[in-house]
Amino acid sequence: MALFSNRKRDKTVVPSAADGSKNAGLEAQPGTAPLISVIIPVYNSMPYLTELLNSLETQDLAAEKFEVIAVNDGSTDFGDEILDIYAKRNANFRIIHQDNSGWPGKPRNVGIDHARGDYVFFCDADDRLGSEALRRMTSYATTHDLDILIPRMVGIGGRRVQQGFFAKTRPEISLEFVLASLSPQKMIRRRLIEQHQIRFREDKVRLEDGMAMVQAYVAAERISILADYDYYEIRLRSDGQNISVGKIDPAGYVASLSHIARTVRNHTQQDAAYTRRLMAGLFTRKALSFYEGRRFMKYTPEARQAWVDHHRKYLDEFIATDRETVFNPARLVKVELIARGDLAALERLATGEIEATANPVVEKIRAADSTLEVVLTSPAGAPVPKALLFEDRESKTTVNAELVATASHTYVAKFAHHALIAQIPRLGNALVHYSETDRRRISLPEEAGEVVHGGVRVYRTAYGYLSVDTRKAQRG
């Protein structure tokens, strides 16, 4: 969802509820509790907010069976007015206006306090739901008597999701499995939330959603993943205002991670081996990613040192010994360096990763009567390249050529003009194929210019990559 700031709301809040917030729309009706309460913290989420509200308005679940509780956290982008419009035309939409709290925790808690459904479902205001989502989710949850349901998520706007996590429906999953997902987009039995007094942290702290989710996980008897439909579309905002892309403070982040780990450990401590495995899984997912080459080296030297210092404390508390039993060999190298506080060695590893994963670079392009020849260099630490290919941007069909080594890390590939024209009807991207999971774009230096031969144009894109244009050749 959007970044929350500490700006004050321009309008005067007119109290009408016990918490002093201003309400619009549905008031609680005894005896008419819905199946599900959809809780949405809203702060400056236009124009995406209307997409979410439209997707809720068009749900095929009967309106009396669900309620929407949108908590406007002092928006200044007319989102408050949009919310009130939707509330006027939908009897099951309730809007709560409050001064800006600075973070999504408080509006989520306010939503919980006002919820009447058997289940609550947390949405972010810049995402959207499939039109059948609520009906399918409530039907599955009630049929299987679930405490927590995790609906399949898909990314929009370039947002990445865990494909493997949502690969199939899983009627019952373990704590170890569910810890791979700490985001709040879950449907949780409201009685469980109330019995265990689960609430979100309201101060500006990272992983506040993960801390609340883990409280629910350890209290739940049955958790399922429902993956038979695209239930939830999670967005990467084009304006860069997702909270997840903001600056992260190492001390606060690792403190939150440690809080999550303690919650888990308190629940599983009777099985020491299992607990250690869970602690290692959390560290793998929520700590080691900061040490990926480019990401780590983008931090200042002071920030890199801070990450190492705080992650070292985590290891000392939760996995002080026998780390080789819970980390694979590749990860163990970094883990042991962190445990020793060896920043210099971690920086060398990161630099090596950057070099090994760099893009190949064109040295020269030569055109003959019926062929196109590309000479390139491959990064020193990269695997041996298998082929150079041109991939059509629309159909994804490819024209492949073997890469022949001519010197250390230097290779040449030859393409027949007629093959390019036949398989690439318009535009194609050039890539080096290293493996099924490693295909890299090819950098073309600006000074290399472009080559046009036989109607085939080989050129540099705006982002500096090698591409081919066969449109002139197609016209003859």
Question: Per DSSP, what are the bridge partners of residue 399?
Answer: 390
Rounded distance between C-alpha atoms, residue 126 and residue 134, angstroms: 18
How large is the angle between the packed helices 301-318 and 250-268, nearest 10 degrees? 10
Q: Which two tokens stand for residue 467?
A: 């591409």
Burial zone of 329 (CB within 10 Å; 0-12 exposed, 13-18 middle, 19+ buried): exposed
Q: Which two tokens stand for residue 378?
A: 């491959």
3-state SS, one letter per residue, for 363-390: EEEEECCCEEEEEEECCCCCCCCCEEEE
Among 78, 74, 77, 71, smallest CA distance to 23 is for: 71
Rounded distance between C-alpha atoms, residue 126 and residue 50, angstroms: 9
Rounded distance between C-alpha atoms, residue 128 and residue 56, angstroms: 8
Which DSSP symbol is given to 441?
A: E
- Whether residue 209 lies in the annotated active site: yes
CA distances (Å), 267 to each of 19, 264, 323, 435, in order? 33, 5, 21, 42
Q: Report whether 234 contacts 155 (CB < 8 A).
A: yes
Q: Is 69 left (phi over 0), alpha (psi -120 to 50) or beta?
A: beta
Rounded distance between C-alpha atoms, residue 13 and residue 333, angstroms: 55
Q: Report whether 73 contacts 43 (CB < 8 A).
A: yes
Prior bond to 34 cis, omega within 30?
no
3-state secondary structure of 292: coil
Which residue in 80, 124, 127, 209 is the catalytic one?
209
Which DSSP symbol is given to 63?
A: G
Among 184, 19, 2, 129, smallest CA distance to 75 is for: 2
202 C-beta neighbours (distance < 10 Å), count: 17
Q: Report whether 244 contacts 158 (CB < 8 A).
A: no
Among 24, 17, 40, smallest CA distance to 85 is for: 24
Q: Angle at Cα 351 formed by Cα 347 and Cα 356, nearest 5°?
A: 145
Helix (H) or strand (E) holding 297: helix 293-298
Active site residues: 209
